[in-house]
Chains A and B, each alone.
Chain A
Amino acid sequence: MRFASEEILETFKMLNVERLEIRAVTLGISLLDCIAGNSRETAALVKQKINSAAGNLVKTVKSVSDEYGVRITNSRLAVTPVSLLLARHPTVDSAVEIGHALDEATKEVGVDFLGGFSGLVEKGITKSDAALMEAIPIVLSETSRVCSSVNVASTRTGINVDAINIMARKIKETAVRTKKDNGIGCAKLVVFCNAPGDNPFMAGAFHGVEQGEASINVGISGPSAIRAAIESCQGRVEELSDCIKRVAFKMARVGELIGKETANRLGVKFGCVDVSIAPTTTKGDSIVDVIEAMGIQKCGSPGTTAAMAMLVDSVKKGGMMACTRIGGLSGVFIPVSEDSGMNERISEGYINLEKLEALTSISSVGLDMVCIPGDTDESIIAGLIADEAAIGIVNDKTTAVRVIPVPGKRAGQTVKFGGLFGNGTIVDVSRWKLSNFLSRGGQISGTVRSAKN
């Protein structure tokens, strides 16, 4: 037999029983050639470009999925950070007009989310960046498919405190503007440190200017496949790590095959596989299940950070061996409301905001889909962003904040978003305001790590 029966049956089991799937096939498109002298013309060119570049995306992804027998959950789009498109007409109205054009084009090509209503402001804010940030709450409340992200810090430049203060205010405004849906607009808004330009996952995806004309980036998923492998291993921790590496290798290989085939059929280059383990709202598809299968009785208790660090490292090693290029975030996601197990441990009190912050130092991405009380002061949100950014610049890694100040809700209460966004328990946040630290404004300079040359 060309393949051993065990190999065929193992593949069948991983794909059909353990729900190994491709979480996202994301087509990144450069929109730099759409910049025109006025916003109406830019918006029209943006729609035209997306329709021509992504018109066949959904159909192509479906045929690749059918032929290889691999479920592909989402087809997504990522575009050039929109603030760059506003250079010749840097107004809020222009940003809103382009936001609507992106939403309409995304709908026309049958894709559920597009990322890239973004700005890169880690060292300074241009007129276009300012207009974009001002427009974020409007666009996120008036559109359904557009996702936004703003990079406020990097290892090289340090932390832009002025940008953090603006974004903390915009998060609050977005929550208020989407109040009737429990502040869901904030689920489409990420504030980053060291944002990568090839991330296939929402809401933080955008097509970096260094990425070329167009590329396909793939995000894999499979906490349950990893958990199944862990459950079959009774050895010492190094054996456990090997066992995770072997599964991650297979998962990443599936990702690369699907990515290369999709890119080939669309006539664009293949970018990377993001080997992050991404949970879903499905019961049993949680990071908590993986950590607890490793031997931690309750995820969040002492030992969790070490187990998570070993898990992330083993997944990366398996993924790097399997793929030509890994990229994006490549770690472990803990989007709290989207991970039913994590949400459960928060409501039981095993995990709190501080533990989630600690986990940021060894996982990607940060405080992700964390619901906080609606009346949380914006200075406290700014503090959360600054703390995550500090972890990012000191450890030279990507960190981010995607918090939802749920209007009218207090700590301990729950909120239902439904669909991909799941359900959230409101976590307790310190009530002490940052009276006079971040409000000073300015730039926290890069650490000694920034002087590497």
Chain B
Amino acid sequence: MSRIVVTAFGKDRTGIVASISKALADTGANIEDMTCSKLGENFVILTVCGLKNEKSFSAVKKAVTIAGKKVGVNVVVQREEIFKGMHRV
């Protein structure tokens, strides 16, 4: 099963985790790991998710990007291989 890393960041407010998590759940992406931190005025979510199937990448990306916009955060969705490549020998 392929995995993605979702990075969301923006000005802190209520409902960011709820909004992003809902979008992930609605598109069948299973959260396997999640870190949330408040950095000054900003809020950052780093999460690793398993995709329902290979073809669901675009749908997940679209859904979380829209969900992020609603709560004022930028969202980056990347396949996990880019992190493996850069940080694992």
Residues of A within 8 A of B (CB): 1-3, 5, 7-12, 14, 16, 66-70, 250, 253-254, 256-257, 261
Kindly list the 6 A-B residue pairs having the minimum CB-CB distance in the complex, ordered from nearest.
Answer: A69-B78, A253-B85, A250-B86, A257-B85, A7-B87, A68-B82
| Residues of chain B from 41 to 72 with CB closer than 8 A to chain A in the complex | 46, 48, 57, 61
The reply to whether A8 and B85 contact each other, CB–CB distance below 8 Å, is: no
Residues of B within 8 A of A (CB): 3, 5, 7, 32-33, 35, 37, 46, 48, 57, 61, 76-83, 85-87
Count A-B pairs with CB separation below 8 Å. 60
Q: How far is the CA of A9 from the CA of B35 in the complex (A)?
A: 12
The reply to whether A5 and B85 contact each other, CB–CB distance below 8 Å, is: no
The reply to whether A69 and B82 contact each other, CB–CB distance below 8 Å, is: yes
Q: How far is the CA of A369 from the CA of B26 in the complex (A)?
A: 53
B48 touches which of A2, A9, A68, A261 (Cβ 8 Å)? A2
B83 touches which of A3, A16, A66, A256 (Cβ 8 Å)? A3
The reply to whether A7 and B83 contact each other, CB–CB distance below 8 Å, is: yes
A11 touches which of B32, B33, B77, B86 (Cβ 8 Å)? B86
Residue of A nearest to B6 (CB): A8
User: With a CB–CB cut-off of 8 A, which chain A residues contact B79?
Assistant: 67-68
8 other contacts beyond A3-B87, A8-B46, with CB at 8 A cut-off?
A2-B3, A2-B33, A7-B86, A7-B87, A8-B83, A11-B82, A256-B85, A261-B81
The reply to whether A5 and B35 contact each other, CB–CB distance below 8 Å, is: yes
The reply to whether B35 and A68 contact each other, CB–CB distance below 8 Å, is: no
The reply to whether A8 and B82 contact each other, CB–CB distance below 8 Å, is: no
User: With a CB–CB cut-off of 8 A, which chain A residues contact B46?
Assistant: 1, 5, 8-9
Q: How far is the CA of A14 from the CA of B76 in the complex (A)?
A: 14
Q: How far is the CA of A9 from the CA of B7 in the complex (A)?
A: 9
The reply to whether A11 and B81 contact each other, CB–CB distance below 8 Å, is: no
A69 touches which of B3, B48, B77, B87 (Cβ 8 Å)? B77
A12 touches which of B7, B32, B85 (Cβ 8 Å)? B7
Q: How far is the CA of A69 from the CA of B80 in the complex (A)?
A: 10
- Give 30 pairs: A residue, B residue, CB < 8 Å, sorted on A: A1-B46, A1-B48, A2-B3, A2-B32, A2-B33, A3-B48, A3-B80, A5-B37, A8-B5, A8-B46, A9-B46, A10-B86, A11-B82, A12-B76, A16-B76, A67-B57, A68-B78, A68-B79, A68-B81, A68-B82, A69-B78, A69-B82, A250-B86, A250-B87, A253-B85, A253-B86, A254-B82, A254-B85, A256-B85, A261-B81
Chain A CB count within 10 A is highest, among B48, B77, B79, B86, for: B86
Q: How far is the CA of A369 from the CA of B8 in the complex (A)?
A: 41
- Taking the closest CB of chain B, its distance from the CB of A116, in whole angstroms, is 30
The reply to whether A254 and B78 contact each other, CB–CB distance below 8 Å, is: no
Q: How far is the CA of A12 from the CA of B76 in the complex (A)?
A: 9
Using A8-B83, A11-B86, A68-B81 as known contacts, say yes or no to A1 and B76 having CB atoms under 8 A apart. no
Q: How far is the CA of A1 from the CA of B35 in the complex (A)?
A: 8
Q: How far is the CA of A40 from the CA of B5 in the complex (A)?
A: 52
User: With a CB–CB cut-off of 8 A, which chain B residues contact A3?
Assistant: 5, 48, 80, 83, 87
Residue of A nearest to B48 (CB): A2
- Taking the closest CB of chain A, its distance from the CB of B33, in whole angstroms, is 5
Residue of A nearest to B35 (CB): A5
User: With a CB–CB cut-off of 8 A, which chain A residues contact B37?
Assistant: 5
Using A8-B46, A68-B78, A69-B77 as known contacts, say yes or no to A1 and B87 having CB atoms under 8 A apart. no
A254 touches which of B5, B76, B86 (Cβ 8 Å)? B86
Residue of A nearest to B78 (CB): A69
- Taking the closest CB of chain B, its distance from the CB of A262, in whole angstroms, is 13
User: With a CB–CB cut-off of 8 A, which chain B residues contact A67?
Assistant: 57, 78-79
User: With a CB–CB cut-off of 8 A, which chain A residues contact B83?
Assistant: 3, 7-8, 11
Q: How far is the CA of A123 from the CA of B85 in the complex (A)?
A: 43
Q: How far is the CA of A8 from the CA of B86 in the complex (A)?
A: 10
B82 touches which of A1, A9, A70 (Cβ 8 Å)? A70
Using A1-B48, A2-B48, A8-B46 as known contacts, say yes or no to A257 and B82 having CB atoms under 8 A apart. yes
User: With a CB–CB cut-off of 8 A, which chain B residues contact A68?
Assistant: 78-79, 81-82
Residue of B nearest to A70 (CB): B82
User: With a CB–CB cut-off of 8 A, which chain B residues contact A257?
Assistant: 81-82, 85
User: With a CB–CB cut-off of 8 A, which chain B residues contact A70?
Assistant: 82
Q: How far is the CA of A57 from the CA of B81 in the complex (A)?
A: 21
Q: How far is the CA of A1 from the CA of B31 in the complex (A)?
A: 11
Q: How far is the CA of A253 from the CA of B89 in the complex (A)?
A: 10
- Taking the closest CB of chain A, its distance from the CB of B32, in whole angstroms, is 7
User: With a CB–CB cut-off of 8 A, which chain A residues contact B80?
Assistant: 2-3
Chain B CB count within 10 A is highest, among A10, A12, A16, A261, for: A12
